[in-house]
Amino acid sequence: MTDRRVALVSGAAGGQGWAIVQRLRADGIAVAACDIRVDALAAAVAESGDADILPLSLDVTSEEQWAAAIDAVVERFGGLNALVNNAGILHRCPLENETSEQFEHLWRVNCLGAFQGMRAALPHLRVAAEPVIVNTCSTGALRPFPNHAAYGASKWALRGLTQVAAAELAPHRIRVNAVFPGPVATPMLDERIQQRLAASSPWQRLAEPGEIADAVAFLISPQASFMTGAEVTVDGGQSLQIG
Protein backbone atom coordinates (compact mmCIF):
# COMPACT_ATOMS: atom_id res chain seq x y z
CA MET A 1 0.00 0.00 0.00
CA THR A 2 1.35 3.43 -0.98
CA ASP A 3 0.63 6.78 0.71
CA ARG A 4 -1.14 8.05 -2.38
CA ARG A 5 -4.92 7.96 -2.19
CA VAL A 6 -6.77 5.94 -4.81
CA ALA A 7 -10.39 6.24 -6.00
CA LEU A 8 -12.63 4.21 -8.28
CA VAL A 9 -15.32 6.20 -10.14
CA SER A 10 -18.13 4.40 -12.00
CA GLY A 11 -19.90 6.01 -14.93
CA ALA A 12 -16.63 7.84 -15.58
CA ALA A 13 -17.23 8.40 -19.30
CA GLY A 14 -20.31 10.50 -18.56
CA GLY A 15 -20.69 14.19 -17.84
CA GLN A 16 -20.41 14.10 -14.05
CA GLY A 17 -18.19 11.01 -13.92
CA TRP A 18 -15.47 12.55 -16.06
CA ALA A 19 -15.68 15.81 -14.09
CA ILE A 20 -15.23 13.81 -10.87
CA VAL A 21 -12.21 12.00 -12.33
CA GLN A 22 -10.57 15.30 -13.25
CA ARG A 23 -11.42 16.92 -9.92
CA LEU A 24 -9.96 14.02 -7.93
CA ARG A 25 -6.82 14.09 -10.06
CA ALA A 26 -6.48 17.79 -9.20
CA ASP A 27 -6.41 16.67 -5.54
CA GLY A 28 -3.59 14.23 -6.37
CA ILE A 29 -5.77 11.14 -6.11
CA ALA A 30 -5.04 8.28 -8.53
CA VAL A 31 -8.27 7.23 -10.25
CA ALA A 32 -9.65 4.06 -11.79
CA ALA A 33 -12.16 5.45 -14.29
CA CYS A 34 -14.81 2.82 -15.05
CA ASP A 35 -17.66 2.77 -17.52
CA ILE A 36 -19.68 0.42 -19.69
CA ARG A 37 -18.87 2.72 -22.66
CA VAL A 38 -15.24 1.75 -22.74
CA ASP A 39 -14.41 3.33 -26.11
CA ALA A 40 -15.54 6.80 -25.05
CA LEU A 41 -13.70 6.34 -21.78
CA ALA A 42 -10.46 5.18 -23.40
CA ALA A 43 -10.56 8.15 -25.78
CA ALA A 44 -10.99 10.64 -22.92
CA VAL A 45 -8.18 9.05 -20.90
CA ALA A 46 -5.87 8.96 -23.93
CA GLU A 47 -6.58 12.63 -24.61
CA SER A 48 -5.83 13.51 -20.99
CA GLY A 49 -2.38 11.90 -21.29
CA ASP A 50 -2.58 11.25 -17.53
CA ALA A 51 -0.88 8.00 -16.47
CA ASP A 52 -2.64 8.10 -13.09
CA ILE A 53 -6.05 7.56 -14.65
CA LEU A 54 -6.65 3.86 -15.24
CA PRO A 55 -9.52 3.26 -17.70
CA LEU A 56 -11.49 0.10 -16.99
CA SER A 57 -14.49 -1.52 -18.63
CA LEU A 58 -17.21 -2.03 -16.02
CA ASP A 59 -20.88 -2.84 -16.20
CA VAL A 60 -21.95 -2.09 -12.63
CA THR A 61 -24.70 -4.73 -12.79
CA SER A 62 -22.10 -7.51 -13.11
CA GLU A 63 -20.59 -8.92 -9.92
CA GLU A 64 -17.81 -10.55 -11.97
CA GLN A 65 -16.88 -7.27 -13.63
CA TRP A 66 -16.81 -5.49 -10.26
CA ALA A 67 -14.40 -8.13 -8.92
CA ALA A 68 -12.15 -7.74 -11.97
CA ALA A 69 -12.19 -3.93 -11.77
CA ILE A 70 -11.32 -3.89 -8.07
CA ASP A 71 -8.49 -6.40 -8.68
CA ALA A 72 -7.17 -4.24 -11.51
CA VAL A 73 -7.12 -1.01 -9.50
CA VAL A 74 -5.47 -2.64 -6.50
CA GLU A 75 -2.88 -4.27 -8.72
CA ARG A 76 -2.11 -0.99 -10.48
CA PHE A 77 -2.24 1.48 -7.58
CA GLY A 78 -1.69 -0.75 -4.52
CA GLY A 79 -5.00 -0.19 -2.74
CA LEU A 80 -8.34 1.60 -2.75
CA ASN A 81 -9.41 4.46 -0.46
CA ALA A 82 -12.51 5.85 -2.15
CA LEU A 83 -15.42 4.43 -4.13
CA VAL A 84 -17.69 6.77 -6.10
CA ASN A 85 -20.87 5.07 -7.29
CA ASN A 86 -21.80 7.59 -9.97
CA ALA A 87 -23.02 5.38 -12.86
CA GLY A 88 -26.70 5.81 -13.56
CA ILE A 89 -29.41 5.78 -16.19
CA LEU A 90 -32.60 7.82 -16.52
CA HIS A 91 -35.91 6.81 -18.03
CA ARG A 92 -39.18 8.71 -17.88
CA CYS A 93 -42.54 7.04 -18.31
CA PRO A 94 -46.06 7.37 -16.91
CA LEU A 95 -46.67 4.78 -14.21
CA GLU A 96 -49.41 3.02 -16.18
CA ASN A 97 -47.11 2.48 -19.17
CA GLU A 98 -44.01 1.52 -17.21
CA THR A 99 -42.88 -2.09 -17.60
CA SER A 100 -41.52 -4.40 -14.95
CA GLU A 101 -38.48 -4.97 -17.18
CA GLN A 102 -37.61 -1.26 -17.34
CA PHE A 103 -38.33 -0.79 -13.66
CA GLU A 104 -36.02 -3.65 -12.75
CA HIS A 105 -33.34 -2.55 -15.22
CA LEU A 106 -33.09 0.92 -13.68
CA TRP A 107 -32.95 -0.54 -10.19
CA ARG A 108 -30.16 -2.89 -11.30
CA VAL A 109 -27.97 -0.08 -12.65
CA ASN A 110 -28.83 2.68 -10.16
CA CYS A 111 -29.07 0.71 -6.92
CA LEU A 112 -27.86 -2.89 -7.23
CA GLY A 113 -24.76 -1.60 -9.06
CA ALA A 114 -23.77 0.52 -6.05
CA PHE A 115 -24.50 -2.37 -3.67
CA GLN A 116 -22.25 -4.67 -5.67
CA GLY A 117 -19.57 -2.00 -5.86
CA MET A 118 -19.58 -1.53 -2.09
CA ARG A 119 -19.39 -5.28 -1.49
CA ALA A 120 -16.49 -5.69 -3.92
CA ALA A 121 -14.58 -2.71 -2.51
CA LEU A 122 -15.09 -3.42 1.20
CA PRO A 123 -12.16 -5.79 1.81
CA HIS A 124 -9.82 -3.08 0.50
CA LEU A 125 -11.59 -0.13 2.13
CA ARG A 126 -11.38 -1.87 5.51
CA VAL A 127 -7.56 -1.76 5.38
CA ALA A 128 -7.20 1.62 3.65
CA ALA A 129 -6.38 4.98 5.20
CA GLU A 130 -9.40 7.32 5.45
CA PRO A 131 -11.78 5.05 3.52
CA VAL A 132 -14.87 6.63 2.02
CA ILE A 133 -17.82 5.87 -0.26
CA VAL A 134 -19.85 8.49 -2.13
CA ASN A 135 -23.08 7.52 -3.89
CA THR A 136 -24.74 9.74 -6.47
CA CYS A 137 -28.46 9.95 -5.72
CA SER A 138 -30.65 12.73 -7.15
CA THR A 139 -33.17 15.32 -6.03
CA GLY A 140 -35.49 12.63 -7.44
CA ALA A 141 -34.73 10.81 -4.16
CA LEU A 142 -35.82 13.87 -2.13
CA ARG A 143 -38.98 14.77 -4.03
CA PRO A 144 -41.51 12.73 -6.04
CA PHE A 145 -41.11 13.69 -9.71
CA PRO A 146 -44.08 12.49 -11.82
CA ASN A 147 -43.27 10.02 -14.64
CA HIS A 148 -40.14 8.88 -12.80
CA ALA A 149 -41.43 5.71 -11.11
CA ALA A 150 -38.46 3.55 -12.10
CA TYR A 151 -35.78 6.25 -11.71
CA GLY A 152 -37.23 7.71 -8.53
CA ALA A 153 -37.69 4.32 -6.88
CA SER A 154 -34.13 3.28 -7.78
CA LYS A 155 -32.66 6.49 -6.36
CA TRP A 156 -34.79 6.39 -3.19
CA ALA A 157 -33.51 2.82 -2.77
CA LEU A 158 -29.93 3.99 -3.26
CA ARG A 159 -30.53 6.74 -0.68
CA GLY A 160 -31.72 4.12 1.82
CA LEU A 161 -28.82 1.81 1.00
CA THR A 162 -26.41 4.69 1.63
CA GLN A 163 -27.91 5.32 5.06
CA VAL A 164 -27.75 1.65 6.05
CA ALA A 165 -24.15 1.36 4.85
CA ALA A 166 -23.16 4.54 6.74
CA ALA A 167 -24.59 3.14 9.98
CA GLU A 168 -23.17 -0.34 9.48
CA LEU A 169 -19.69 0.75 8.43
CA ALA A 170 -19.22 3.50 11.04
CA PRO A 171 -17.57 1.08 13.49
CA HIS A 172 -15.05 0.34 10.74
CA ARG A 173 -14.48 4.11 10.28
CA ILE A 174 -15.62 3.92 6.67
CA ARG A 175 -17.54 7.10 5.83
CA VAL A 176 -20.52 6.72 3.48
CA ASN A 177 -22.23 9.80 2.08
CA ALA A 178 -24.45 10.78 -0.83
CA VAL A 179 -24.74 13.71 -3.19
CA PHE A 180 -28.15 14.75 -4.50
CA PRO A 181 -27.69 16.69 -7.73
CA GLY A 182 -30.50 18.73 -9.21
CA PRO A 183 -30.53 19.04 -13.01
CA VAL A 184 -26.98 18.93 -14.40
CA ALA A 185 -25.85 19.87 -17.92
CA THR A 186 -24.88 16.39 -19.11
CA PRO A 187 -26.00 14.10 -21.95
CA MET A 188 -28.48 12.49 -19.52
CA LEU A 189 -30.85 15.41 -20.19
CA ASP A 190 -31.73 16.34 -23.76
CA GLU A 191 -31.56 19.96 -24.92
CA ARG A 192 -35.31 20.59 -24.58
CA ILE A 193 -35.42 19.30 -21.02
CA GLN A 194 -32.27 21.21 -20.09
CA GLN A 195 -33.90 24.45 -21.28
CA ARG A 196 -37.14 23.75 -19.43
CA LEU A 197 -35.38 22.88 -16.18
CA ALA A 198 -33.04 25.89 -16.43
CA ALA A 199 -36.03 28.20 -16.93
CA SER A 200 -37.74 26.88 -13.79
CA SER A 201 -34.58 26.92 -11.65
CA PRO A 202 -34.19 29.61 -8.95
CA TRP A 203 -30.69 30.12 -10.38
CA GLN A 204 -32.07 30.14 -13.94
CA ARG A 205 -29.53 27.54 -14.99
CA LEU A 206 -28.47 23.93 -14.59
CA ALA A 207 -25.51 22.77 -12.54
CA GLU A 208 -22.23 22.32 -14.35
CA PRO A 209 -20.76 18.82 -13.86
CA GLY A 210 -17.78 20.35 -12.05
CA GLU A 211 -20.09 21.75 -9.36
CA ILE A 212 -21.20 18.22 -8.47
CA ALA A 213 -17.60 16.99 -8.70
CA ASP A 214 -16.56 19.65 -6.15
CA ALA A 215 -19.08 18.26 -3.65
CA VAL A 216 -17.90 14.69 -4.27
CA ALA A 217 -14.26 15.73 -3.85
CA PHE A 218 -15.12 17.50 -0.58
CA LEU A 219 -16.87 14.39 0.79
CA ILE A 220 -13.80 12.32 -0.10
CA SER A 221 -11.37 14.81 1.39
CA PRO A 222 -10.10 14.95 4.99
CA GLN A 223 -12.11 18.19 5.37
CA ALA A 224 -15.18 15.93 5.60
CA SER A 225 -13.57 13.65 8.19
CA PHE A 226 -16.58 13.77 10.57
CA MET A 227 -19.25 13.45 7.87
CA THR A 228 -20.99 10.15 7.37
CA GLY A 229 -24.57 9.44 6.38
CA ALA A 230 -24.73 12.99 5.04
CA GLU A 231 -27.10 13.91 2.23
CA VAL A 232 -25.53 16.75 0.31
CA THR A 233 -27.96 18.49 -2.04
CA VAL A 234 -26.41 20.41 -4.93
CA ASP A 235 -29.39 21.75 -6.84
CA GLY A 236 -29.36 25.56 -7.00
CA GLY A 237 -32.49 25.56 -4.84
CA GLN A 238 -34.58 23.25 -7.05
CA SER A 239 -35.88 21.19 -4.16
CA LEU A 240 -36.92 24.33 -2.25
CA GLN A 241 -39.61 24.85 -4.86
CA ILE A 242 -41.17 21.43 -5.22
CA GLY A 243 -43.89 20.60 -2.75
Ligand X SMILES: NC(=O)c1ccc[n+]([C@@H]2O[C@H](COP(=O)([O-])OP(=O)(O)OC[C@H]3O[C@@H](n4cnc5c(N)ncnc54)[C@H](O)[C@@H]3O)[C@@H](O)[C@H]2O)c1
Interface residues with ligand X (CB under 6 A) are 10-11, 13-17, 35-37, 58-61, 86-90, 109, 136, 138, 181, 183-184, 186-189
Alpha-carbon separation of residue 64 from 6, 81, 195 (angstroms): 21, 21, 40
Beta carbon nearer to ligand X, 19 or 172: 19
Residue 148: phi, psi to the nearest 5?
A: -125, 40
Q: Which residues pair with 84 in a beta bridge?
A: 9, 134
Coil, helix or strand at residue 53: strand
Q: Which long-range contacts (CB under 8 A, 24 or more apart) does 193-199 make?
A: 197/238
* Number of residue whose CB is nearest ligand X: 14
Determine whether 96 is an active site residue. Answer: no
Nearest partner of 19 among 239, 179, 209, 157, judged by Cα: 209
Beta carbon nearer to ligand X, 126 or 237: 237
Report helix angle 100-107 to 149-169, nearest 10: 30
Nearest partner of 180 among 114, 127, 134, judged by Cα: 134
CA 174 vs. chain centroid, Å, equals: 17
Shortest distance, CB of residue 40 to ligand X, whole angstroms?
Answer: 7
Shortest distance, CB of residue 46 to ligand X, whole angstroms?
Answer: 16
Beta carbon nearer to ligand X, 106 or 166: 106
Beta carbon nearer to ligand X, 59 or 98: 59
Query: How would DSSP label each residue in 189-221?
Result: S-HHHHHHHHHTSTTSSPBPHHHHHHHHHHHHS
Shortest distance, CB of residue 127 to ligand X, whole angstroms?
Answer: 26
Shortest distance, CB of residue 52 to ligand X, whole angstroms?
Answer: 20
Shortest distance, CB of residue 192 to ligand X, whole angstroms?
Answer: 14
Beta carbon nearer to ligand X, 159 or 175: 159
Query: Catalytic: which of 66, 107, 151, 180?
Result: 151
Q: Which residues pair with 83 in a beta bridge?
A: 8, 133
Catalytic residue ranges: 151
